[in-house]
Amino acid sequence: MSNTDLTRLINSIGKSTFVRYYEQFADTSLSNQDVVAVLPQEYPLKSRNSRTAKARRIIREGLEKEALEIIAHAQGVDADTADKAQQLLRRLRESR
């Protein structure tokens, strides 16, 4: 997957949503429906399904580090999201 395609996927999920719910997206013991139920109800069901599928695709394809790097260094991302992306990256690097 190209960087452009990855960036497009991240943007369609939402950078803060990907970071905020990363643990749930990455948890293979949770079904897609379990994750959809955790996402904010302000998103329509179709949107929550789409965001979950796209986030899990990034993780399944092993692109979570690249995605978190993009988010951590993106302009316009709030400081909390950037900090949490950095924390997740450190944790991923330590675990592998």
Position 96 scores a pLDDT of 62
Q: What is the DSSP string of 42-90?
A: TS-HHHHHHHHHHHHHHHHTT-HHHHHHHHHT-TT--HHHHHHHHHHHH
**pLDDT < 70 stretches in the chain:** 96
Predicted pLDDT at 40: 95
Tens-place pLDDT, residues 48-72 = 999 999 999 999 999 999 999 999 9
Q: Sketch the domain layout of the chain as residue ranges.
A: 3-95
pLDDT at 24: 97
How high is the mean pLDDT of the chain? 94
Backbone phi, psi, residue 78, to 5°: -65, 155
Structure confidence at residue 82 (pLDDT): 95
* d(C-alpha 30, C-alpha 32), whole Å: 7
